[in-house]
A and B are shown apart, each in its own frame.
Chain A
Amino acid sequence: MTATEENPIAPRDGQDGPGAQGPAEPAAGPKRARLISGPGILLVWLYGVMVVGAVSRSAVQISTQFDKAPLAYSLSAVAGLVYGFITYSLVRGGETARRAALVCCAAELAGVLVVGTWTLAEPSAFPDATVWSDYGMGYLFIPVLLPLSAMYWLRKARTTAA
């Protein structure tokens, strides 16, 4: 099945001849590399949970009591958007999505560390907690552990694909 599908593509490489000497990209075939096989499915699940948690939490807080702690609630909403984008990238798969997810995980990790430190250093700026307060302690430290494991997984996904 796959062999017959790939046959029409194969001769093209031969006709191109010298042009085929450019940067090799074996992973960029017609099929996107799956990012949700094996441990990836666990990452998708945990990110999905965080999306629901962060988005619904900030939606309720922003719509009912935004004036109480605008900074904290906005940060929760941003966290939810970042989680949503990473989840979508993981499910979509492929090299571009993998890189985008990697960048977002780094941003997420930076966000957790910055906001976590900020909440400890200047509690007065946060009358109410965010998803990332105290390095995500209210969420079993998942917000700080998740980007680390996701970045490990995404880096490994490239080495296996190449």
Chain B
Amino acid sequence: MFDALTAATAVAALALAAWCGWAAHRDQPTKDWHFIGMAVVSLLALVQLVIGVVQLARGEKPEQGTTIFVAYLIGAFACIPAAGFMSLAERTRWGSVTVAAGGIVLAVLEVRLYDIWGG
């Protein structure tokens, strides 16, 4: 369950990165549709955060430690909203690049989460 969610979030994050990278390539700022995309990815990360905490509460132990696991869950959840707000402040192609970078960062975090949870 948790691993499937991790994979789904990573794929969605990469798709968002590609989408915003395309917008940057076409010299466009992030638009409403991009923000809906960010909301979807953030929602996935939020669901992942909740399920991760529920699994901890049930007594399951992440392979590399609970503290690191929770820290990465929170980081993964905060990643895209933070990049989204920065793209609101920068209404040029560079705002799109920032969100694209945020998507890649989130994908990396998901890979690390997979390792930390212990596959």
B-contacting residues of A (Cβ < 8 Å)?
36-42, 44-46, 48-49, 52, 56, 60, 64, 140
A-contacting residues of B (Cβ < 8 Å)?
67-68, 71, 75, 79, 82-83, 86-87, 89-90, 92, 94-95, 97-98, 101-102, 105, 108
Task: Provide the bound-state CA to CA distance between A62 and B105, in Å.
Answer: 24
Question: CB < 8 Å: which of B68, B92, B101, B108 contacts A45?
Answer: B101
| Residues of A contacting B105 in the complex (Cβ-Cβ under 8 angstroms) | 49
Task: Provide the bound-state CA to CA distance between A46 and B94, in Å.
Answer: 13
Question: CB < 8 Å: which of A38, A45, A64 contacts B83?
Answer: A45
Of all chain B residues, which has the CB nearest A48?
B82
Given contacts A52-B75, A60-B67, A140-B108, contact A41 B90 (CB under 8 A): yes
Cβ distance B77 to chain A, nearest Cβ, rounded Å: 12
Question: CB < 8 Å: which of A41, A45, A56 contacts B71?
Answer: A56
Given contacts A48-B82, A52-B75, contact A41 B67 (CB under 8 A): no
Task: Provide the bound-state CA to CA distance between A40 and B71, in Å.
Answer: 27
Question: Cβ of B71 and Cβ of A60 under 8 Å apart?
Answer: yes
Question: Cβ of A42 and Cβ of B94 under 8 Å apart?
Answer: yes
Task: Provide the bound-state CA to CA distance between A50 and B50, in Å.
Answer: 25
| Residues of B contacting A44 in the complex (Cβ-Cβ under 8 angstroms) | 86
Given contacts A37-B90, A38-B90, contact A45 B102 (CB under 8 A): yes
